[in-house]
Amino acid sequence: MTDTLLELDNVHTHIGLYHILQGLGFRAQRNRITLLLGRNGAGKTTTLRTIMGLWPASAGRISFAGADIAGRSTSAISRLGIAYVPENMGIFPDLSVKQNMLLAARKAARAADMDQQRLEWIFGLFPAVHQFWNKPAGKLSGGQKQMVAMARAIVEPRQLLLIDEPSKGLAPAIVNNMAEAMLKLKESGASILLVEQNLQLAREVGDEVAIIDAGRLVHAGPADECFAREDLLKTHLGLTLCP
Binding site for another protein (CB under 8 A): 52-54, 73-75, 78-79, 83-84, 86, 90-99, 102-104, 106, 109-112, 114, 116, 119-120, 123, 129-135, 152
In contact, 134 and 80? CB cutoff 8 Å: no
Nearer residue to another protein within complex by CB, 141 or 200? 141
- CB of 79: closest distance to another protein in angstroms? 5
- Give the whole-angstrom CA distance, residue 236 versus residue 214: 10
Taking alpha carbons only, the member of 197, 115, 196, 198 closest to residue 158 is 115
φ, ψ of residue 183 to 5 degrees: the values are -65, -40
Nearer residue to another protein within complex by CB, 34 or 100? 100
- CB of 163: closest distance to another protein in angstroms? 12
Nearer residue to another protein within complex by CB, 104 or 218? 104
Q: Which amino acid is at 145?
A: K
Return the sign of the alpha-carbon dihedral for residues 99, 174, 142, 162: negative
- CB of 119: closest distance to another protein in angstroms? 5
Nearer residue to another protein within complex by CB, 110 or 242? 110
- CB of 165: closest distance to another protein in angstroms? 15
Inter-axis angle of helices 116-125 and 142-153, nearest 10: 150
- CB of 112: closest distance to another protein in angstroms? 5
Nearer residue to another protein within complex by CB, 43 or 206? 43
Q: How many Å is the Cα radius of gyration of the chain?
A: 18
